[in-house]
Structure 1
């Protein structure tokens, strides 16, 4: 098949025949974990009441009322530097910083007091116009060799107010005017070509949030780009498809681990290994796409969907057993394992192909479910 030609791992099979299968499997696992645990630290700052904490919550996909949410309010609720880990990706941390220019955090000492070195980039937030303290902070950040982005929040409220007061309301023209005013104001404060993004913390799919994320992704070092992407909310079809591409690229490594399991000359070993590999990948899809895996898999086997259905190894095996291709390939793999001389290499190739196709099947279904849930298709 086309998939088999593109992702065939028979060269690795030759290496496995003369190498330590367990060691190779461990190296593959380490490689995947290393790339998934790259730290990303995002600083979020701005004046009191600008929507900093709401932005921290929205970016992590956490409701403001959640017990793990950053405290929000129109008075200064952030009195110290607080870190908030992404609920699914603890290596992604958003730091809610106190408002610049407060008594405890004066503008001239701000970066030193908040510990700027640990941050990968800064989001500077305002709910109206950016002020002198924002510009001073940006200039100091630039001196330190870090990147910064200006985010104008509460745009949804602005649009509602403008619609009430303007006879010929035009959203596009109003957005252009607000963005232009922000840029010109920052340029007067000696910030050349500032990057300004208009967002609503409660409707991320509107306005510039996706443009902000695209900019961050492009300007981050390559090893952090996928970390950011997988942690994002499902705000658009493009984001969901990019997530799919990242996970698709990982499938060949899971398939290689499946081939290692097939190298063990014991009946049933490969099936157990493959099921565990598939469970790990499906759990990853569940986290990336924010979809209940148990509910999705129950729907795939045409069974009544229970809210909060548990994602289990048994459920995955039931889904796979309903696939004629998967079942026949697995039976062929078990049968060829004991052919003298060539049995194990053939079984390894079949195992990798079976696992590859199974993972692609689950990935396609999670992507589709995410798009449908968010009303993006």
Structure 2
């Protein structure tokens, strides 16, 4: 008779056998962490390329490792930047086409065209002849490109003092002007963005379009790395990680067909830890993302992380495999009690079932998700949680722990 944890694992996978369930789990888990995504960002000097790169990575221009910004030509060579929390996602800041160092005729060859999954062509004014030429060449190579009109907030600010000011009319006129300017390329979509105000304009629409048009196996990488622009985008990330719990639990629990005491039911604490760290960065809970948001809304937000033991431990780099192992070991023996405090000695692995591992991952994910939601509320960014009719969960104080009821 099969063990209950094996039955649960097979059921969660949607497969009919343990071997098929294992194969599916390993493939999806590998995709979660290892599928590469390479994004190319190009445009003339002053178009806002470097700022876009920094915002995508959750950084301000003064943060360590940020792309240099300025009105002078700061991108003199192709520069790769890893996403801080998702090293499999890389964004490439390319020199502007047509400069003295990068001639239009040889641009794609000079910037190693083949390595990129798609191109974002940025302009803060009108798109130029070189931008159009580049788009045509990319089209010939059968890769996707996206025209992004940046610094829209500056255009809006410049028009606000007019008596006849109408923001939607201004946006419509800018979009139409761009389309007229790009007739040679066909009828491309134009995305109007402000890297300083990602909650407004087309920043989220751009991300959704990119996800939709990427190959299926690449979409999860972009979903995890794209900045949280709204409550809906946060909920999408949360739902994605909920859907990945079964694969992470399967990989962590290491279920075997024939149980071997203390070996067949082991928890790989590194997998559990990596899962939580991914959620932490994807939800924008890291120090640099919170600092950037705090500066924008003029409210200190980092102290809210103290309400989440997991988030605090990741931030302080005190969450270790040993602590995760100790925590899951406690759950195997009793109810959920994730203390995340230093323990005496070392527990390399804790014996537990697939079902218990799922429980640990679900509870940890909910804790991180709830603190991310609360921070958005405090920052004044919270409205409707999703486009599916859900409203913000009602939170109440239960003893010493804040719990959100859905």
Q: Same fold (TM over 0.5)?
A: yes
Counterpart residue number, 1:9? 9
Shift, 1:25, TM fit: 7.6
**Correspondence list, 1:34-183, <5 A:** 34-164=31-161, 166-183=162-179
Q: Does 1:253 align with 2:259?
A: no
Measured in 1, the distance between the counterparts of 2:82 and 2:334 equals: 41
User: Partners in 2 of 1:322 and 1:199 — Cα distance?
Assistant: 48
Q: For residues 28 and 172 of structure 1, what CA distance do their matches in structure 2 show?
A: 47
2:42–2:120 CA contact under 8 A, matched in 1: yes
Structure 1 residue 185: Cα displacement:
1.4
Matches within 5 A, 1:332-351: 351=353
Structure 1 counterpart of 2:229: 235
Query: Where does 1:175-254 land on structure 2 (aligned, <5 Å)?
Result: 175-187=171-183, 190-254=184-248
1:9 counterpart SS class: helix
Note the residue ranges of structure 1 that are not aligned, 5 or more in a row. 331-347
> Residue 299 in 1 paired to residue 307 in 2?
yes
- Deviation per residue, 1:88-126 (Å, 9 max, x gap): 112211111111111221222211221211111111110
**SS of alignment partner, residue 97 of structure 2:** coil
1:365 pairs with 342, 364, 367, which one? 367
How far does the alpha carbon of each residue in 1:141-188 deviate from its partner, in whole angstroms, 9 at most, with x for none? 111111110011111111111102x1132211111111111111111x
Change (3 A) 1:307 1:123: closer
Aligned partner of 1:333 in structure 2 is none
Specify whether residues 253 and 203 from structure 1 end up closer, same or farther in structure 2 by C-alpha distance, changes over 3 A only. same
Given that residues 228 and 283 in structure 2 are in contact (C-alpha distance below 8 angstroms), is that contact kept between their aligned partners in structure 1? yes
> How far 1:194 sits from its partner (Å)?
1.3
Cα distance in 2 between the residues matched to 1:9 and 1:76 = 54
Task: Give per-residue Cα distances to partners, 1:172-224, cap 9 Å, x unaligned.
Answer: 1111111111111111xx12111110111111111101000000000000010
Normalising by the residue count of structure 2, what TM-score does the alignment of the two structures yield?
Answer: 0.73
Equivalent residue, structure 1, for 2:319:
311
| Shift in alpha-carbon separation, 1:275–1:37, aligned structure 2, 3 A | closer
- Structure ID, larger Rg: 1
5+ residue gaps in structure 2? 288-301, 338-350, 384-406
In 2: Cα distance, 1:135 partner to 1:63 partner:
30
Q: Distance in 2 between matches of 1:174 and 1:129?
A: 15
Q: 2: CA distance between counterparts of 1:258 and 1:152?
A: 47
| Deviation per residue, 1:35-58 (Å, 9 max, x gap) | 421111111111111111111111
CA contact (8 A) 2:58 2:284 kept: no
51 and 313 in structure 1: CA distance in 2 versus 1, 3 angstrom threshold: same
Distance in structure 1 (CA, Å) of the matches to 2:304 and 2:270: 18
Q: 1:99 to 1:243 in 2, by over 3 A?
A: same
Residues 47, 357 of structure 1: alpha-carbon distance in 2 compared, 3 angstrom cutoff: same
CA contact (8 A) 1:301 1:322 kept: no
Tell me the distance in 1 between the aligned counterparts of 2:358 and 2:244: 10
Specify the SS of the correspondent of 2:90: strand
**Does the 8 Å contact 1:329/1:354 carry over to 2?**
no
* CA deviation map 1:42-80 (0-9, x unaligned): 111111111111111111112111221111111111111
SS at match of 2:53: helix
Distance 1:152 1:329 in 2: 49
Deviations 1:4-40 (A, max 9, x none): 99x9225799977xx9xxxx98995575234421111
Q: 1:74 to 1:326 in 2, by over 3 A?
A: farther
> SS at the partner of 1:8?
helix
Over residues 235-265 of structure 1, what are the superposed CA-to-partner deviations in whole Å (9 max), with x where a residue is unaligned? 1122212212221122112332426289442
User: Would the alpha carbon gap of residues 10 and 136 (structure 1) be closer, same or farther in structure 2, given more than 3 Å must change?
Assistant: closer
Q: Output the aligned Cα RMSD.
A: 3.7
Asked if the contact 1:295/1:307 (under 8 Å) is kept, the reply is no
Contact 2:86–2:278 (CA under 8 A) maintained in structure 1 = no
Q: Alpha carbons of 1:14 and 1:198: their partners in 2 closer, same or farther (altered >3 Å)?
A: closer
* Change over 3 Å in CA distance of 1:176–1:117 after alignment to 2: same
